[in-house]
Chains A and B, each alone.
Chain A
Amino acid sequence: MESSEVFKLIESNYPDALKSTDLEGTEQSVTIDANSIVDVCNYLKTESELQFTSLMCLSGVDYEDKMEVVYHLHSLLHNHRVTLKVELSREDPKLPTVTTVWKAADWHEREAYDMYGIVFDGHPDLRRILLPDDWEGFPLRKDHVVAEEYRGWTIRKIKDGFE
C-alpha cells in the first residue's frame, strides 16, 4: 500500500489525531498528535490490511524551534512502509511510549531520552543508555554546551565546524 493511502486510512479513523501530511518532499510523512500516537500505532500494527509489525527506527530530531520524534514502520507481510512524526515543544518534550506496541521501541526510546531529553511517558525503564549515568545535559540538542570538566578530566574544546 502506498503511504498516501495509509495516511487516508489514519485520517478517516483518527481525524483528530492527524495534524498534517507531507506528500511533497523526498520522504512522505504524516504528523500525529502526541496524545494519540499509541492509538494510531496500535491501529497500524493490528489492522489486517496494514500490519506494520516492525518498528524499523525511532529517532529524535532537534530543529532549534521544536523537537520531533520520527517513527519508521514497516510491514513484513505486505512489504510497505510508512513514516510518522510527532512534534514536541523544546521546553517540555514529552509523549507516551510505544513500547506497549513494539518492544523494539524500548532501547530506541531510551536513546532518544539519552541524547535529546525526550521523556517517554510510561516507558518501563527510562534511563540513560549510551552515556554514563552522571552525564549532564543532552548532547544531540543543537544548543548543547559541553561541560569543561567531567570527573576531574578536562574536556578539550573543539572549534565549531572544522574543515
Chain B
Amino acid sequence: MPDLKTEEMVVQMGPQHPATHGVLRLEITTDGEIVKKIDPHIGYLHRCFEKHCEVLNYHQIIPFVDRCDYLAAMNNEHGYVMAVEKLLDIELPPRVEYIRVIMSELNRIASHLVALGTFGLDIGAITPFLFTFRDREKILDLFEMTSGARLLYNYIWIGGVAFDLPNGFVEKCFEFIDYFLPKLKEYDDLLSYNKIFIARTAKVAIIPPAVAIEWGITGPNLRASGVDWDLRRDEPYSIYDKFDWDVIVADGRVGVLGDSWSRYYVRVLEMEQSANIVKQALEGLPSDENVKSAVPRKVKTKEGSVFFRSENPRGELGFYIISDGSDIPHRLKMRSPAFCNLSAISDIGEGLLISDLVALLGSIDIVLGEIDR
C-alpha cells in the first residue's frame, strides 16, 4: 500500500518521557507509525557550566565537571585535570596515575551498566535493569569507600587525588572483579541473546561508519559502526599504554554492523576489558606514596590554550581551555560526546518506526546533563 498516506501528526516526545533519559524533547512529525522528521529540543538542563568556569579557579571547576556527566563523574574529572595539567609543568607520582585509571575504568563499567540496564528498560525488559543496578551498587560502594560520595566524587584533583586508597580497598576491588566477570555471562543469557531483544534491536537504526564520522559520533557508538578507534590506544594518555587490553569493535555477529544491537554489545564487551585493566592496575599499583605531593596550592597555568580529549564512556570528551596566565580560565569549552552523538539523531532517525526510535535513543546512551551543560 505505498500510495496510502495518512495525515501527518506532530508528537511531542518528552521533556518528561521515560525513554528520553532525562529532560529531552523530541518534536516528531509522524506519518502513521513512521517518523518523518525529528526536531530535538535540548537545553532543559542548561546550568551555564561554561559561564561558571570563567569566574571559578581551576580547582573549583572540578565539582562542576562532575555534574556535567553525572554517570561518569570520575572520567570527566580525569579528562579535565589532564587538560589543565597540560598547561602546567607537573610530574605526577606513579601511584596517582594508577589510582586514576582504576577509578576511571570502574566508573566506565558503572556507566555502561546504567546504559545497558536502561536500554533494556526502554524496550520492555525490566529484569536486566535490576541486575545491572545490583552490580553497579558494588562499584558505588567502592567509590564511597575512597571518596565518601556515591555519585559526584570531587576525587581526582589537579596534580593528584583527594585521598589515598583506604585500607582494604585493593582486596575489595579484586573481590569485585572476580564477582563481576562471570556476571557478563548472565547479561548475555538474560538480554544480549534474548530473542525478543534481538528482534527489537538487530538491524534497527543502522549508523554506517561514514555517517558516524561525518556527525562526529565517537566512543562505543563509533566502534559499533566498525571503526577501530579508541583514544586510550590511539592517542594514549595517562598510563593506558602499560596495560594489555583490546579495543572492542563490533563485528555484526547478530544483525548488521552499526545497528542498535551492536551498540549495545560493544558496551558489554568493553566492560570486560575495563575489568581487565582494573585488575592489571591493581596488580601493578605502586606502594605507598603521597598522592597529594604534586597538588599545586594555587594553579598558575601557562598563557596559551590547549585542546585535550579523553575517552569517556559515551565518547570523546574534549576540553578546550584558553588561559590568560591567571588562576581562572579565560574560556573553557567542553566538547561533550553525547551532544555530538545526539545531533545525528534527526538524520539517522528519519524513516524509523516510533518504537525503533526508542531503540535508537536508548542505544546511543545519552546523558542530558552533559548535553546541556
Contact = CB atoms under 8 A, between A and B. Distances in A.
Given A130-B46, A130-B372, A130-B373, A54 B216 contact: yes
A12 interface: no
Given A54-B213, A103-B347, A161 B320 contact: no
Chain A, interface SS category: loop
The interface centre, meaning the residue of B51, B54, B305 with most chain A CB atoms within 10 A of its CB, is: B305
B322 interface: yes
Nearest to B216: A104
Contacts of A130: 42-43, 46, 372-373
Interface stretch (B107-115, B168-176, B227-235, B272-280): B227-235
Interface string B216-255: 1000000000010100001100000000000000000000
B303 to A, nearest CB: 8
Nearest to B304: A26
Interface in B297-328: 302-307, 309, 316, 318, 320, 322, 328
B305 A26 contact: yes
A17 interface: no
Given A27-B306, A102-B214, A132-B43, 8 more contacts: A26-B302, A26-B306, A27-B304, A56-B307, A56-B309, A103-B215, A104-B216, A130-B373
A161 B373 contact: no
Given A25-B305, A27-B307, A72-B318, A129 B331 contact: no
Interface stretch (B71-79, B119-127, B196-204, B335-343): B335-343
A21 B350 CA distance: 42
Sorting the interface of chain B by its residue count into under 10, 10 to 19, 20 to 34 or 35 or more gives: 35 or more
A88 to B, nearest CB: 15
A2 B55 CA distance: 35
Residue from B216, B227, B335, B339 having most chain A Cβ neighbours under 10 A = B216
Interface in A18-53: 25-27, 29, 53
Nearest to B234: A79
B331 A62 contact: yes
A26 B304 CA distance: 6
Contact of A103 (B54, B214, B306, B372): B214
Contacts of B213: 53-54, 76
Nearest to A64: B330
Nearest to B228: A76
Contacts of A115: 50
B51 A56 contact: no
Contacts of B87: 26
Nearest to A125: B39
9 contacts: A26-B86, A57-B318, A59-B333, A61-B331, A70-B320, A72-B320, A129-B42, A139-B51, A161-B328
Contacts of B339: 107
B48 interface: yes
A131 interface: yes
Interface in B278-308: 302-307
B80 to A, nearest CB: 15
Contacts of B340: 104, 107
B48 A139 contact: yes
Nearest to B307: A72
Contacts of A27: 304-307
Nearest to B331: A61
A140 interface: yes
Count chain B CB atoms within 10 A of each CB in A26, A102, A115, A139 and give the residue with the most: A26
B216 A83 contact: no
A149 B361 CA distance: 36
Contacts of B305: 25-27, 29
Interface in A144-163: 160-162
B55 A161 contact: yes
B220 to A, nearest CB: 16
Contacts of B50: 115, 140
A160 B216 contact: no
B215 to A, nearest CB: 5
A96 to B, nearest CB: 19
Nearest to A59: B333
